[in-house]
Chain A
Amino acid sequence: MSDGGSFFVGAVLIIPAVSAGLLAVLPDNRATARLNTLAAFLTFIAATVLFRERPTPGHFLIVDDLNVVFIVLSTFVGFTTSVFSGSYIAHELEIGRLTPIYLRFYHAMYQTLMFAMNVALLSNNVGLMWVAIELATLTTVLMVGIYRTPAALEAAWKYFLLGSVGIAFALFGTILVYLAAHAVVGEGLDAMTWSVLVKRSPEFEPALLNLAFLFLLLGYGTKVGLVPLHAWLPDAHAEGPTPISAVLSGLLLNVALFAVLRFKSVMSANPGAFAPGPLMVSLGLLSVVFASFMLYRRHDIKRMFGYSSIEHMGIITFAFGMGGPLANFAGLLHMTLHSLTKSGIFFCVGNISQVKGTQNMRDIRGLTVSHPVLGWGLVLGVAAIAGLPPMGIFMTEFLIVTTTFARSPVLAVVLGLSLLVAFGALLLRLNGLAFGDPHGSRKPVRASSVPMFAHFALVIAAGIWLPAALVAWFEHVATLLR
């Protein structure tokens, strides 16, 4: 069974790599879009198999309870996003925002991104994970800058500088971890292997671990978009192609947070080191408060949802920082649901901005009248992201707030109130966008809204009924994260 598993692991990694290469050379853009979708779909299939087939962890790759969920999730979102991006990019070609050559580049980069993220998730080696995340960063940088408008370039440049500084921090942290480990484990690959690190971490030098975690949190936290390291995120979301915004919010942030989690488990296994919880809690809370107020003055619809991503990443970090089985469970679930919801919202927003020909919310009005599907889709999405039932985020926020209030009321009150503030901003915008007299172009939607509603359907289902297997999984992981 192990070899079967490793075969599928190979598939998960190789399919994107190969298809990236292919897409780089293939000229015809219709075909490439289809190929892109196909590759993503195959990857998804292969990933789902990993639920059953587990390869024995090697020095470089591992499949364990924690990451398999992320793998499946990211491949799924990758697949739906590719479906969406097919129609989206076609439209971009028509209106001439993109040229075929850039399109080819785009598809290649897309698959490279998939590849990088899968590697990062599957890697059993801190160094390898670092490399993968850097690769993912660079590809997204290039994609954000793809429109070559000054604003896009500026966003990409900002993203690149901040990102690479973060990456540098992360590397430094990684080295420190190695230093802490090799004194105990001895030199060589073992000192960089997850499974080993988690096992042996109690014997590590606490001081080194502290320093390392600090750098890692800042480094990968830049990717997660935690305030005050967030600056790149809103612009990158606003200026890049919408599918990329979806992937960014839905996946890349998760991957970075996943890295932080890995190190957190190493950290908290060590009695001497300081508890990582408070640090994460404070950063997360800061992000939530900041983002929720930043939502008010936004005019660019994509940038607004970028900030909402910051907010939710803050919530998740907060939850994991609080720790405890319930909070961890809520954090994991929230992570999953947020990436589904947010990418769904970005699908919707992408269609809207294409139909209306603008991203400025002042020029978008009365969508439920002019474009019922998009309008109600947006209403649904905002309701979901704001944590209203029956959508699943209600469950997670319920768990987080209640458990936190029982333990430290002040934090819970701050969190809850800023959630309310954020909701106020989103609803204010939604009122303008979805209701009132329609305004702007009424040309029909051509892009398919299937991916969007697929995501929302999943989110609603999760809110009402969670499959027992998944629950058991999450609970196991939650206890494992302690």
Chain B
Amino acid sequence: MLVSFMLLYQDRMTGLVNIFALHALVVSLSVAWQAHIQHAPHLYITAAIALIVKAIIIPIALHRIIVQLGIHRTIETVVGIGQTMLAGIGLVALSIMVMLPITAKAGTLTQQDLAFALSVLLLGLLMMISRRNAVSQVIGFMSIENGLILAATGAKGMPLVVEISVAFSILIALIVIGVFLFRIRESFDTVDIHAMHEYRGEQP
């Protein structure tokens, strides 16, 4: 979760990607930890997937894309870092508040995990809306997925379906995003989403 705060804090593209790699690493570690205490071997696979895909492949791919697009400049955030941080803290508080009443049956561990997962998810979303750059939005989306993984592994003995789906979704997501970035670049030579708005369907 701290890492995702770091994500919010980070304002350099390359740095952002690296932090994201770190983020993914942390997630995979926690998943592995879950696997250990739940004695659920298949979770190791998940951890592995997370590690390989998110912590290694995607960051590299993103680096390549960044280099391709030649955007090393700092990301102009929409709202200042400070407010973003505050909002993030508020979100965490909210997620914990929401999760509080669910102590009854599910184990406390799960509860904390869920709280974390939810807050990571919200932070990712916050990041998506507080950045104006396609790549950073992609990263925000990724961190949302991380939060999901956290939640999924937090859930005891959830069948493999979910991991498959998660991984699968992320793969597809990456492909599509790649395709899009590629196309977007051939359409306009920037991935700045603002550039698209002249092309809106109907201007009044």
* Direct contact between the two chains A and B in their complex (CB within 8 A): yes
Contact at B110–A179, with CB atoms within 8 Å? Answer: yes
Does A175 reach chain B (CB closer than 8 Å)? yes
Contact with B along A129-170 (1 / 0, CB 8 A): 011001000100110010011110111110011001101100
Contacts of B196 in A (CB 8 A): 150, 153-154, 157
Partner of A165, one of B105, B141, B164: B141
B70, chain A: closest CB distance, angstroms: 20
Once the chains are docked, how many angstroms separate the CA of A168 from the CA of B152? 12
The segment from A187-195, A250-258, A371-379 that touches chain B is A187-195
When the two chains form their complex, are residues B148 and A172 in contact, meaning their CB atoms are under 8 A apart? yes
Question: What is the predominant secondary structure among interface residues of chain A facing chain B?
Answer: helix
Give Cα A299 to B166, complex, Å: 40
> Cβ of B141 and Cβ of A153 under 8 Å apart?
no
Q: Is the CB of B180 within 8 A of A182?
A: no
Contact of A138 among B105, B172, B202, B204 (CB under 8 A): B172
A207 at the interface (CB under 8 A from B): yes
Nearest Cβ on chain B to A379's Cβ, whole angstroms: 24
Task: Check: A125 CB closer than 8 A to any chain B CB.
Answer: yes
The closest CB in chain A to the CB of B183 belongs to A153
In the complex, whether B104 has a CB less than 8 A from a CB of chain A is yes
Q: A128-B161, A138-B172, A157-B184 are in contact. Are A211 and B98 (CB under 8 A)?
A: yes
Of A134, A149, A150, A167, chain B has the most CB atoms within 10 Å of the CB of A150
Contact yes or no, B148 A183, CB < 8 A: no
Q: Which of B121, B137, B201 contacts A303 (CB 8 A)?
A: B201
Separation in Å of the A7 CB from the closest CB of chain B? 24
Contact A154–B200 (Cβ < 8 Å): yes
The reply to whether the CB of A443 lies closer than 8 angstroms to some CB of chain B is: no
Partner of B114, one of A128, A150, A179, A183: A179
Q: Does A300 contact B (CB under 8 A)?
A: yes
Q: Which interface residue of A156, A179, A187, A300 has the most chain B CB atoms within 10 A?
A: A179
Any chain B CB within 8 A of the CB of A171? yes
Q: Is the CB of B148 within 8 A of A171?
A: yes
Q: Which residues of B have CB within 8 Å of A207? A: 101-102, 104
Chain A residues within 8 Å of B155, by CB: 175, 178-179, 182
Determine whether A235 belongs to the interface, using a CB cutoff of 8 Å to chain B. yes
Q: Are B151 and A175 in contact (CB under 8 A)?
A: yes
Known: A168-B148, A205-B104, A303-B202. A160 touches B165 (CB 8 A): no
B89 CB to nearest chain A CB (Å) = 21
* Separation of A216 and B176 alpha carbons in the complex (Å): 24
CA distance A150 to B184 in the complex (A): 8
Q: How far is the CB of A183 from chain B (nearest CB, A)?
A: 4
Indicate if B48 sits at the interface (CB-CB under 8 A).
Answer: no
The residue of chain A having its C-beta at the shortest distance from the C-beta of B188 within the complex is A150
Residue of B nearest to A235 (CB): B201
A354 to B201, CA, bound (A): 18
B35 at the binding interface (Cβ < 8 Å): no
Whether A153 touches B184, Cβ cut-off 8 Å, given contacts A167-B169, A168-B148, is: yes
* CB of A208 within 8 Å of the partner chain: yes
Q: Are B165 and A127 in contact (CB under 8 A)?
A: yes
B106 within 8 A of A: yes
The interface size bin for chain B is 35 or more
CA distance A142 to B175 in the complex (A): 11
Contacts of B114 in A (CB 8 A): 176, 179
Partner of A151, one of B102, B125, B164, B201: B201
Minimum Cβ distance to chain A for residue B200 (Å): 7
B156 partner, pick from A161, A167, A176, A182, beta carbons under 8 A: A182
Q: Are A127 and B161 in contact (CB under 8 A)?
A: yes
A297 within 8 Å of B (CB atoms): yes
Q: Which residue of B lies closest to A303 (CB)?
A: B201
Known: A175-B151, A175-B158, A298-B202. A168 touches B106 (CB 8 A): no
Q: Which of A167, A172, A182 contacts B121 (CB 8 A)?
A: A172
- CA–CA, A178 and B104, complex, Å: 16
Residue pair A168, B201 in contact (C-beta under 8 Å): no
Are B125 and A165 touching (Cβ within 8 A)? yes
Decide: A153 and B157 in contact? CB cutoff 8 A: no
Q: Are B161 and A168 in contact (CB under 8 A)?
A: no
Give every chain B residue within 8 A of A299 (Cβ-Cβ). 202
Known: A167-B169, A205-B106, A208-B102. A127 touches B199 (CB 8 A): no
B162 at the interface (CB under 8 A from A): yes
Residues of A within 8 A of B168 (CB): 131
Q: In the bound complex, how far is the Cα of B141 from the Cα of A232, in angstroms?
A: 17
A164→B173 contact, CB < 8 A: yes
The digit string for A299-334, where 1 denotes a CB below 8 A from any CB of B, is 110010000000000000000000000000000000
Contact in complex: A153, B201 (CB < 8 Å):
no
Q: Does residue B83 face the partner (Cβ distance < 8 Å to A)?
A: no
Residues of A within 8 A of B204 (CB): 297
**B169, closest chain A residue (CB):** A134
Q: Inside 8 A of B156's CB, which chain A residues have their CB?
A: 182, 187
Taking the closest CB of chain B, its distance from the CB of A109, in whole angstroms, is 13
What 20 additional pairs, Cβ within 8 angstroms, besides A160-B177, A168-B121?
A127-B165, A134-B172, A138-B172, A141-B176, A142-B176, A145-B180, A150-B188, A151-B199, A153-B187, A157-B180, A165-B128, A168-B144, A171-B148, A172-B117, A172-B148, A172-B151, A176-B151, A182-B157, A182-B158, A183-B105
| 28 CB < 8 A contacts A-B | A125-B161, A127-B159, A138-B172, A138-B176, A145-B183, A150-B188, A150-B196, A151-B201, A153-B180, A153-B183, A153-B184, A153-B199, A154-B199, A157-B184, A160-B177, A160-B180, A161-B137, A164-B141, A168-B144, A171-B148, A172-B147, A174-B162, A178-B158, A183-B105, A187-B157, A205-B105, A234-B201, A300-B202
